[in-house]
Amino acid sequence: MTGAAPWPAGAPAAAAPSTGRAAAPRRTAPLPADLKTGGIVPQREPDRFTVRVRTPMGRLLPAHLRALADCAERFGSGELHLTVRQTPEILDVPRAALPGLLATLAASGLGRAAAGPVVRAVSGCSGCQVTPNGLVDSLGLGLEADARFFGRPCPSKFKLTFAGCPTDCVRAKGADLGFVGRVEVEVDPERCERCGLCSDTCREGAITADTTGLPVVDPQACVGCAHCVRACPVGALEAARTGLDVYAGGKHGRHPRSGERIATMITEDRALETIERTLAWYRRHGSSGERLGTVLDRLGTEDLAATVAEDTDNGRCISAQTWSQNDASPPGYDGRGRGKDAGSGRSSATDATEGAASGRPVRAAAAKASS
């Protein structure tokens, strides 16, 4: 039985994709040496290839979409497929058509995605540039990371993902290295009117009231989403700091693994250096074909966390030896970071607070800070 076509009823027959029939596993021919530079995947049919196109953070211009449609029709079967990491693939390309396809893609500003043991195209959401919940500039950070790290050799594949808030729609915790935006909130007792709205809003049950009705935030239960900041009608709940939590060692596949938090509340300007240090550590400790998560299973996370935090005063190393993952403040840390003053320039706790006080959403204040 063939699968159901994914197009709406009434779509033109010519536009319907092939569905195929289940077939027995078969051995595929090895990829010719001159094509082993990534993004070209042999299909099960002889002399047919899938070409994966590099689209960092899933962003495409209309001209790119037109070029993809043109390439699919001229060089493939006309069908495209989208991977779970926001990457389009052109299907059914004969080997003889590959040079023409690659030249046409390049002329339109598109390149091949990576394959094999390298840093793959960076994925993520649009963060504070677009989404109402966004707390950090995940889009800008992801594009910068892609420009700097895409294609870097590693012991195995290495996936980077940026999420704008703790909802993590883009599964940053399932990437080899994932960044998740968050805030730390504080209550201003002078401005608070004890209305209880923040407590009603918090889905984590992280806010209780003291005997005077003043909200008390449990840092262990708080995930840093800033919903309470947006809910407070008088701006008494403030996003005192905005930053990113860093998760290492996530992966999908037949043995999925969740990333472990190795640093919390790093400022945005620390993100690329965190990737650089993680890649250096991974190359030093990983064997050929070994994913970062497997290396961490073997060696633990403490050394990587310490490497990432080395020589910095605005990120917190999470070490199981010194404090638990959910502790608010490790020993020796005063609980306050430098925020925008540290040089991030993208999002600002101060502006976020101003935004809440003025009725503007947190992300609008963050966007203002970056303008």
Interface with ligand SF4 includes 127 (CB under 6 A)? yes
Interface with ligand SF4 includes 197 (CB under 6 A)? yes
Q: Which of 17, 83, 117, 204 binds ligand SF4 (CB under 6 A)?
A: 204
Between 236 and 305, whose beta carbon lies closer to ligand SF4?
Answer: 236
Q: Which of 53, 90, 102, 236 binds ligand SF4 (CB under 6 A)?
A: 236
Interface with ligand SF4 includes 234 (CB under 6 A)? yes
Interface with ligand SF4 includes 194 (CB under 6 A)? yes
Between residue 129 and residue 148, which ones bind ligand SF4 under the rule CB under 6 A?
131, 133-134
First to last CA, the chain: 55
Between residue 208 and residue 227, which ones bind ligand SF4 under the rule CB under 6 A?
215, 217, 222-227
For residue 32, what are its two tokens? 């010719």
In what side-by-side order are the strands of the sheet with 160-163? 123-124, 160-163, 177-187, 237-248, 260-266, 316-317
Between 57 and 105, whose beta carbon lies closer to ligand SF4?
Answer: 57
Interface with ligand SF4 includes 109 (CB under 6 A)? no
Site string for ligand SF4, 159-178 (x = CB under 6 A): ----xxx-xxxx--------
Interface with ligand SF4 includes 356 (CB under 6 A)? no
Q: Which of 51, 72, 141, 228 binds ligand SF4 (CB under 6 A)?
A: 228
Q: Which of 193, 210, 310, 341 binds ligand SF4 (CB under 6 A)?
A: 193
Q: Which of 125, 266, 271, 292 binds ligand SF4 (CB under 6 A)?
A: 125
Interface with ligand SF4 includes 32 (CB under 6 A)? no
Between 59 and 152, whose beta carbon lies closer to ligand SF4?
Answer: 59
319: left (phi over 0), alpha (psi -120 to 50) or beta: beta
Interface with ligand SF4 includes 122 (CB under 6 A)? no
The answer to whether the beta carbons of residues 261 and 246 sit under 8 Å apart is yes
Candidate segments 49-57, 112-120, 203-211, 308-316, binder of ligand SF4 by CB under 6 A: 203-211
CA triple 31-37-38, angle to 5 deg: 85
Interface with ligand SF4 includes 105 (CB under 6 A)? no
Candidate segments 106-114, 234-242, 288-296, 333-341, binder of ligand SF4 by CB under 6 A: 234-242
For the CB of residue 229, give the shortest distance to ligand SF4 in the complex, in Å. Answer: 7
Distance CA 120, CA 47 (A): 25
The position carrying tokens 């497997």 is 294
Interface with ligand SF4 includes 244 (CB under 6 A)? no
Q: Which of 192, 308, 349, 357 binds ligand SF4 (CB under 6 A)?
A: 192
- Give the residue nearest to ligand SF4 (CB): 164
The answer to whether the beta carbons of residues 250 and 174 sit under 8 Å apart is yes
Q: Which residues are near ligand SF4 by CB under 6 A?
A: 125, 127, 131, 133-134, 163-165, 167-170, 185, 187, 192-198, 201-202, 204, 206-207, 215, 217, 222-228, 231-232, 234, 236-237
